[in-house]
């Protein structure tokens, strides 16, 4: 990538391609680091959140995301923290909806579900067609334990509201050893009955949780999949959702099940995504600390050319992959920042 204050002409507007020839078409945007839950694998119970003055305004988030769409991003996922606790967040969704069919194929979000009952209809009106809801257990006491502050009935009502609004719901379940192992089949049955897809996620070594706690939480999805295969016939599917999940179909029920396996099967070779924080930092890899300060370029000039150049220069530094590893009963590649900082 050419050096200099900014790129010129067509080069500045060219689609984003990283050094390993991977087109970058998927942007995950954290609109807040705040959350109304304190999930044990995501953040500390007594978090020190960013001062509100440090966050990008909704207008700045609009300009950044619109610039990425202009550079070839086709999928935009809104995350947090919990994105729906950001004040006036529906203004941002309405603003982003103007890009649908004009370069942007999909506008979606990942949520804990606590605010879905309030916002499901508005989200549908903004062109959101599916949402990912984080749900690790169907047991109310366990749910309160893992989320610390959450209430399961509130989340289940939010999921029901999303379904009534016509939103497709995918349940994201973090596989936690000794916590929800015995709910593997009840979760499958519940999702089948409700018509929800289900994706399992390996817990990642992020945040200052302590090595022993991380190792105690880690349940390899290779083991989870073996348990499924003891009862069901699993057929691998070629389809991809634009993210890291790999899917199978359960022949006996017709369900689609996803696996996100950053530890047992590194998915970096097909990585097409980058992550933007609520302060304007661009992380080119979830499992590396390198980042680019896009806020500085954003605020330096009303002209988008320096911003486009900063984005191109950041993508030119995107690494081949992360270094997460639990394989030797020792956590390597651990990131000190909490998952809520980069939005998962």
The reply to whether 42 sits in an annotated binding site is: yes
The reply to whether 274 sits in an annotated binding site is: yes
Tell how far CA 308 is from the center of its chain. Answer: 23
What is the arrangement of strands in the sheet containing 168-175, beginning at the earlier edge strand? Answer: 234-236, 246-250, 256-260, 197-202, 168-175, 130-134, 106-111, 75-79, 26-30, 273-276, 281-283, 291-293
The reply to whether 321 sits in an annotated binding site is: no
The reply to whether 65 sits in an annotated binding site is: no
Q: Which residues contact 127 (CB under 8 A, 6 or more apart)?
A: 97, 100, 107
The reply to whether 86 sits in an annotated binding site is: no
The reply to whether 150 sits in an annotated binding site is: no
User: Nearest-CA neighbor of 221 among 187, 173, 269?
Assistant: 173
The reply to whether 247 sits in an annotated binding site is: no
User: Nearest-CA neighbor of 224 among 239, 203, 193?
Assistant: 203
Q: Which pairing describes strands 197-202 and 168-175: parallel, antiparallel, or unpaired?
A: parallel
The reply to whether 32 sits in an annotated binding site is: no
The reply to whether 339 sits in an annotated binding site is: no
Within 10 angstroms of residue 182's Cβ, the number of other Cβ atoms is 10
In DSSP terms, which residues pair with 250 in a beta bridge?
234
Give the ranges where the chain is alpha helix by DSSP (H). 9-13, 58-70, 89-97, 116-125, 140-147, 152-164, 184-194, 211-217, 221-231, 294-300, 305-315, 339-342
Q: How far apart are CA 32 and CA 278, in angstroms?
A: 5
The reply to whether 81 sits in an annotated binding site is: yes
User: Nearest-CA neighbor of 314 among 301, 339, 337, 297?
Assistant: 297
- CB distance 93 to 123 below 8 Å: yes
The CA distances from residue 137 to 66, 149, 174, 178, in Å, are 37, 14, 9, 12
The reply to whether 41 sits in an annotated binding site is: yes
The CA distances from residue 219 to 22, 209, 215, 283, in Å, are 30, 16, 9, 26
Helices 305-315 and 58-70: angle between axes, nearest 10 degrees: 70
- CB distance 235 to 251 below 8 Å: yes
The reply to whether 268 sits in an annotated binding site is: yes
Residue stretches of the annotated binding site: 28, 35, 39, 41-42, 77, 81, 110, 134, 170, 204, 268, 271, 273-275, 285
Residue stretches of the annotated binding site for [4Fe-4S] cluster: 35, 39, 42, 268, 271, 285
Residue stretches of the annotated binding site for S-adenosyl-L-methionine: 41, 81, 134, 204
Residue stretches of the annotated binding site for GTP: 28, 77, 110, 170, 273-275
């Amino acid at each position: 990538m050419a050096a200099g204050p900014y790129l010129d002409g067509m080069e500045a507007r060219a689609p984003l391609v990283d050094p390993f020839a991977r087109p970058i078409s998927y942007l995950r945007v954290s609109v807040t680091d705040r959350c109304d839950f304190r999930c044990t694998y995501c953040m500390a119970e007594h978090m020190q959140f960013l001062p509100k003055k440090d966050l990008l305004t909704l207008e700045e988030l609009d300009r950044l995301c619109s610039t990425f769409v202009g550079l070839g991003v086709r999928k935009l996922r809104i995350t947090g923290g919990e994105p729906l606790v950001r004040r006036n967040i529906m203004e941002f969704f309405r603003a982003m909806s103007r890009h649908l069919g004009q370069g942007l194929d999909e506008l979606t979000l990942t949520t804990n579900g606590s605010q879905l009952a309030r916002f499901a209809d508005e989200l549908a009106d903004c062109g959101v067609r599916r949402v990912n809801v984080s749900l690790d257990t169907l047991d109310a006491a366990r749910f309160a334990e893992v989320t610390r502050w959450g209430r399961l009935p509130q989340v289940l009502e939010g999921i029901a509201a999303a379904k009534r609004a016509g939103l497709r719901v995918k349940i994201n379940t973090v596989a936690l050893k000794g916590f929800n192992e015995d709910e593997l089949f009840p979760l499958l049955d519940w999702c089948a009955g409700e018509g929800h897809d289900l994706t399992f996620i390996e817990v990642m070594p992020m945040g200052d949780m302590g090595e022993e706690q991380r190792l105690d939480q880690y349940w390899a999805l290779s083991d989870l999949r073996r348990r499924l295969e003891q009862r069901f016939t699993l057929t691998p599917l070629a389809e991809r959702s634009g993210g890291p999940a790999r899917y199978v179909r359960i022949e006996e029920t017709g369900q689609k099940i996803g696996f996100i396996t950053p530890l047992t099967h590194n998915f970096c070779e097909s990585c097409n995504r980058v992550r933007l924080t609520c302060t304007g930092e661009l992380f080119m890899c979830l499992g590396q600390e390198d980042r680019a300060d896009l806020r500085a370029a954003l605020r330096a000039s009303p002209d988008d050319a320096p911003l486009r150049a900063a984005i191109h220069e950041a993508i030119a530094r995107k690494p081949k992959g992360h270094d997460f590893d639990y394989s030797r009963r020792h956590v390597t590649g651990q990131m000190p920042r909490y998952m809520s900082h980069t939005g998962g």
